[in-house]
Structure formats: structure tokens, C-alpha cells
Amino acid sequence: MFFLKLAWRNIWRNKRRTLITTFSIVLAVVLSSFTRSMQLGTYDQMIQNSAGMYTGYLQVHQKGYWDKPTLDHSFASSDSLLNKIAAVDHVTNVVPRLQSYALAAGQKRSRAAMIIGFDPLAELSLSNPKKYLVSGSYVTSDTSRSVLVTEGLANYLNLAVGDSLVLLGQGYHGMSAADVYPIQGIVKYGIQEMNQAMVFLPIGEAQYFFGTHQRLTAAAITLDDAHAVNDVQKEIKSKLDGPFEVMTWRQLMPELVQAIEADSGSGMIILLVLYIVVGFGIMGTILMMTAERQYELGVMVSIGTSRFRLGSMLLLELILLALLGIILGCLGSLPLVWYFHLNPIHFTGDAAAAMRQYGMEPVLPFSTDPTIILGQAMIILGLTTIVSFYPMWHAHKLNPIKAMRG
């Protein structure tokens, strides 16, 4: 207790020394949080780009649909079912879909296209065709007899708004499905794959076209917190009885998970290098701090302070400083990360053009997940504690006569 008091007083005895040491720790926390937030923010952007653009963070299907995605694996939907899902915590929207392939034809040409039976209102929260309309207008009713097509398909079939689109395919349980719809709007997505051959057909009409009645192939789910996805999955699983499969974006998009994992490896190496450099910085200040206090330590040893206690006092001082440093570091990182989250670094020139063409916002986003900062703070605390054993070792070996001569 006495040494705790002494350590506390020592800290305030030389404010400049304390300031410099604390600053080196604060800096370590801020820089590693900055780097990690940038790395994880990029992943969030990739996930948002895929899950938030089309797939959703979760999907509910009939069991077996994902392995064999056909209409025969659709499930009977009802308002009560969808409401049950929507009532789960963190779920912001439930987007019903009935999806299959059919031949889309214009006057001269035809092409296999993905037909998406969609709810015009719910879909606004996910693939949002309204936002990407390049001509025509948005469909408002889910039973309206008109379609939206992607620009890639419209160009290929040589069709414009107002022209007729013939759809020819296979419906539920092998029924034949054929109909003609006027094109009400043309949409263009940045992601090329989404821009190829897609037809948005209002869901009521799609159910009629494919002869599925009230059935859906998938209910895509958006969340207000991407990190809650596993909890939500469990919750939905427990609430639904019947042969359903509830899949997260990790299961729906394994390539994306792989891409992130591959990149995460090099991200960790980068952080490791940063730790080495900030570790050296902290080491340097602590080393100099010990050297500066030679005389004082010499006196204490001479008047009979045990070396172990002296060493413990120094360690205690540094741990107090480290705690102070990481608390200030966390407080400093938070506004910094938030600033860059709200005002992300913008790519310019070629890079920006390349990213837009790829369908991504040309910015470098930052993640504001507070656990990142806490995690980095813990690592820096560990790092500082290891380095802090140096003064203890120094006190153990100190020669008081030499020390006081200086």
C-alpha cells in the first residue's frame, strides 16, 4: 500500500516525464486502433456490398433449397410466418422472394434470365431497384402486371421502356409458365454480375406466373447490427417449426468469407510490424526514464530500500501509467475512428474510377466497432507490461555508488 502511494506520487512528481511516457502509450493505442479499424472497415464494406446489396445477412429457405435451388423446394409462406421472423430482435426487414430462371425474349432474341419475384416495398431495403432506375418508373403494387429489367438484358434483347417482354419457363411441379409483360423500368447496377440478366416481377404476379400460389423460395433478412447475425440465426431457428433452413451470409457466400480470411492473414502481419515499432517507442521512453532516475534510485538503495520493493514500485508506476495511457488512448481513438467513419478517406483518379466500375464506393471506410479499440488497448497494455519489467531488472542490478556518482 505504501509503495502504491509512493508510485502514485512519483508519477506526479515529474509531470513532463509522465506526459512523455503516457503519450507513447496513447500513441500506440491510437495507431493500432486506426489501422485495425481501417482493415475491418474494408471487410464490413465488402460484406455490406454483397449482403446489403442483394443476398441479405440471413436467408430462410425450405430445407434443401440451397443445394438444389428449384421452385419445387419453395415453401408455403404466410403473413404470420414473415411477421414471426420480423419480430426477432435486430431484424429490420424481411424481404420475400420467389426466384427462378426462365427464357426472356424480345422480338428477335432470347436469353436465359433470372426472374425475381419481389415485393416492391420490402425490396427497397435490399437490392433497391428504385435507386438504380435509369429509365421508366418503379413498380408500386405487388400484383401489378409489369416488370423491371436490368440494362444488360434490355440492351441484349433490344428492348426499351414500354416494350413487351416475353417470359417462357417452367413453373411449380413442372407446370409450364408463359406470359407477356410490359417493361415499366430499366435498372442498372454497378456490380456487373447483377447487371446481366435479371427480371424483377412483382411477387403476386410471379406467384401466379410460376403457379406457386403463396410460396416463396427465400426470405432475405436485413439487420440493424451485422454482428448479431449468429444470435438472430439461432433465434429464428428456434421460432420456426417445419422443414426450414436458416443460413447466414457466411454460408450463403463462402467465397466472400475466404476472401476476407485470406486478406485478414496479411492484415495481422501488418499489425505485428506496427506493434514492434510502437513497442520500441515505449521501450525507448522507459529506458530513458530509468536512466534519468539513476541518482534517485541509488539513494533509495543506499538508505536500505529492498531492491525487490524498489523494482515493484517502478513496475507499479509503469502499470499505472500504462492504464492511464490506454484509457486516454481509447478516448482518443474513438473520435478519430468516428471521424474517419463519417468522413472516410476518398480514393482519387484511376483508383476511384476502378472502384466505381466495380460497383463500390471509392472510399476507405472505418469500422466503429468498440471492441476493436478495446482489443488493441489490451494488446498494448500487455506489450507495455512486458517492457515494464526492464526497470525492475535494472533496480535489481543497480550499483548505488556508481549511480549516485553521475
Applying CB under 8 A, which residues contact other proteins?
A: 16-17, 20-21, 23-24, 27-28, 31, 34-35, 38, 42, 101, 108-109, 111-113, 155-156, 158, 192-193, 197, 255, 258-259, 261-262, 265-266, 269-270, 273-274, 276-278, 280-285, 287-289, 291-292, 295-296, 345, 347, 350-351, 354-355, 357-358, 360, 364
Which CB sits closer to other proteins, 131 or 356?
A: 356
CA 163-168-170 angle, 5° bins: 150
Strand locations in 106-146, DSSP E?
Answer: 110-118, 133-136
CB 285 to other proteins: min, Å: 5
Q: How far is the CB of 139 from other proteins (least distance, A)?
A: 25
As given in the structure block, the three cell numbers for residue 279 are 513497442
Q: Which is nearer to other proteins, 240 or 379 (CB)?
A: 379
| Least distance (Å) between residue 178 CB and other proteins | 15
Indicate the SS3 state at residue 215: strand
Neighbours of 36 (CB within 10 A): 25
∠ CA 114-256-263, nearest 5°, is 155
Which of 202/298 has CB closer to other proteins?
Answer: 298
CB atoms within 10 A of CB 143: 12
Tell me, what amino acid is at 212? T
CA distance 336 to 228: 25
| Minimal distance, residue 197 CB to other proteins, in Å | 7
Task: Enter the C-alpha cell of residue 69.
Answer: 435451388
Rounded CA-CA distance 261/259 in Å is 5
CB of 328 to other proteins, least distance (A): 15
- Nearest to other proteins of 197, 232 (CB atom): 197
- What the block records as the C-alpha cell of 165 is 417482354
**Minimum distance of other proteins from residue 220's CB (angstroms):** 20
Which CB atom, from 54 or from 221, has the smaller least distance to other proteins? 54
Please say which residue, 157 or 236, places its beta carbon nearer to other proteins: 157
How many residues are given for the chain? 406
